[in-house]
Amino acid sequence: MSDLFDTLQERYQALLIRREKGASDQELLDDIKTFIADAQQAGATIADLNERSQLRAWMRFLANVVYDATGVHPDITLQPLTRGQLIGPLPERAEKPPPSFPLGWMLIGGAAVIIIVVGFLAMWWFPRFTTSTETTPAPAPTPAPVPYVSRVVVGAEQGPAGTLSMGADTFCLGTSEIVAEFSLQDVEADTMWRWEVQREGQVVKRQPATPWGRETQHTAPVLTGGPEGVEPGQYELLVYTLMGGQGAEAQASQVEQVVAVYSFEVLDTAPRAFDLQVTDVPEPAQQPPGGSDELGRTEGTEFEPGVRVVYLSYKYEGFCPELEISYTLSREGEPIQESQESWSGPSQGTGQVSFQAPSEGPFAPGDYEIAVAIAGQEQASAAFTIREEELTEAPPGFSDVTIALGVQPDGTPILTTPDNRFDWNTKVVYAIFDYVGMSDGLRWSVLWTRNDEEVARQEKFWDVETYGTEGTRWVAYYDEGGRTLPGGDYSVTLYIGNVAEQSAEFSIRYFVPAQ
């Protein structure tokens, strides 16, 4: 082992110790990069193959450390040996064996002739002996493949092609018919098979054993109900095959075995939604004071102005897959929003649906109702009211607008001019104003023009929680690219709703190059 390799090994181990102690500063990364560079240079003088391989392993590991910290993978190419260097130890020169004696070759040749002759005699004599003394065993029969079920699906409706449109393991009360689809593998055409349906261990319907045939699958109604549908309960569908020979003599030896079991349930409760309640937060609130009547209508919920989202929470039972559920939000008796879903959840539990105001503003004041319909039939509803906004003593309004090139946090203007004229290098202009009587969700806007043409419009909704109902506020106009504003005559107009409240004019001088 070379002295240079020993030195690099000690440096590498020192770097590992520093890293294990949690050192991850820039100094450690710089030392790692220096080590990688030195190891690359050492490739020009270290000739031992094992040492060169170890250098590459060290550099690969440390390069990954650098990449994890910086995202840049350093070069770890080992420099080639300097011309004249040898890689690894020289191979030892093998001594030539002494020439063989001719007599040895003669003995070897004679033995080969004897072996060939004995082989020909054995080929002639051994088959005659085995033919007369042994009997060739008959090939073992290939066992017939065991049939198995690759697919059993149970559903309530068949598609146009005669196959099930959807499989399920839960069915609503009143389901008129349940159909099963069977697929077997490794089954011969004359294999006998049958199915039966059990309820609480008792067979309620069965199909006699019949040959499978050449079809790839079979579809058959396994349960058919009366006027009130299939009887509720937990069912099991079992599929059997008969193993053994065919014909009258072999039927007695046939063995029947179960190859598939499919469980499903017909619910004993009609689908219904109940205990409806409306809140303006996702978490369900307590039942409103009004409660719900025998028709499922819930009343008595009121909300303050400014509500943007309402949530309907409810309990349900008797729901089955693909049951159509719809929710309709109405205001003053007129539907304004509707959502639908095909049920895919459990058969009972709690659900929630939300409605958002159609615009960025809140819901308008008025009387609302959310109705729940199951399979196209309205079943329950919840009514609520959003109160009118209370009038404040002072109507909403803005004061005169002050134009400035800056503003302090308390709203004090900075860098104003008596005539509102500003130099050509202006990059941002502030419009500062006082406000009173503002309410939550009140729509207001700002319009900026240059030379009587609109250059910017800012639409907003007032947030009382942030700005209160009165105080000082400002808006700004600037170039999004950070460039100076072009010269010209400007104006800014403040609106509440669609009514212009205040406006101000200012100008920016055109740039004039020095002569």
Q: What is the fold, at CATH topology level, of the domain defined by 272-386?
A: Immunoglobulin-like (2.60.40)
Q: What is the pLDDT of residue 138?
A: 56
Listed residue (71, 15, 72, 70) closest to 39, CA to CA? 15
| pLDDT, tens digit (0-9, with 9 covering 90-100), for 382-393 | 999 999 876 556
Q: What is the phi/psi pair of residue 280, to 5°?
A: -105, 15
Average pLDDT, the chain: 79
CA 25 → CA 28, 30, 76, 245, distances in Å? 6, 9, 22, 80
Helices (H), 168-264: 248-251
Q: What average pLDDT does range 96-124 have in this prediction?
A: 48
In the predicted model, what is the mean pLDDT of residues 242-264? 68
pLDDT at 275: 92
Q: Is residue 250's pLDDT more than 60?
A: no
pLDDT of residue 294: 43
Condensed to tens digits (0 to 9), the pLDDT of residues 403-456 reads 998 888 888 888 888 898 998 888 899 998 999 988 888 999 999 999 999 999
pLDDT tens profile 493-503 = 999 988 898 89
Work out the average pLDDT over 69-95: 64
Q: Which CATH superfamily is domain 148-266 in?
A: Immunoglobulins (2.60.40.10)
Q: Which two tokens stand for residue 211?
A: 């040959």
Q: What pLDDT sits at residue 253?
A: 56
- The answer to whether the beta carbons of residues 420 and 430 sit under 8 Å apart is no
Q: How confident is the model over 93-108, as a mean pLDDT?
A: 45
pLDDT of 362 above 80: yes
Higher pLDDT, 203 or 136: 203
User: In the structure encoding, which two tokens stand for residue 434, read together?
Assistant: 């006082």
187 alpha carbon, distance to own chain's centre: 40
**Sequence spans of domains, the chain:** 3-70, 148-266, 272-386, 397-508
**Is-contact 369 375, C-beta < 8 A?**
no
Question: For 472, phi and psi rounded to 5 degrees?
Answer: -125, 140
8 A C-beta contact, residue 229 and residue 174: yes
Give per-residue pLDDT as tens, 328-359.
999 988 999 999 999 988 999 999 999 998 87
Letter for the amino acid at 70?
Answer: T
Sign of the four-CA dihedral 22, 24, 27, 30? positive
- 369 near 382, Cβ under 8 Å? yes
Domain pair 148-266 / 272-386, same fold: yes
State the Cα–Cα distance between residues 78 and 37, nearest whole angstrom.
Answer: 9
Each residue's pLDDT tens digit, 22-61: 666 788 888 989 999 998 888 888 878 778 878 888 888 8
pLDDT confidence of residue 155: 77
Question: Are residues 419 and 395 in contact, defined by beta-carbon separation less than 8 angstroms?
Answer: no
| Helix segments in 258-317, DSSP class H | none
The larger pLDDT score, comparing residue 104 to residue 199, is at 199
pLDDT of residue 512: 79
> 247 or 235: whose pLDDT is higher?
235
The answer to whether 8 and 16 have CB atoms below 8 angstroms apart is no
The residue whose two tokens read 């008025």 is: 366
pLDDT top residue among 159 and 354:
354
* CA nearest to 303, candidates 228, 349, 366: 366
The domain defined by 397-508 folds into: Immunoglobulin-like (2.60.40)
Residue pair 197/221 in contact (Cβ under 8 Å)? The answer is no
**139 has pLDDT over 90:** no
DSSP string, 457-508: EEEEE--HHHH-SSEEEEEEEE-TT-PPPPSEEEEEEEEETTEEEEEEEEEE
DSSP conformational letter for 65: H
Q: How does residue 83 score in pLDDT terms, banded at 50, 70 and 90?
A: low
Whole-number pLDDT of residue 353: 92
Q: Residue 129 above 50 pLDDT?
A: no
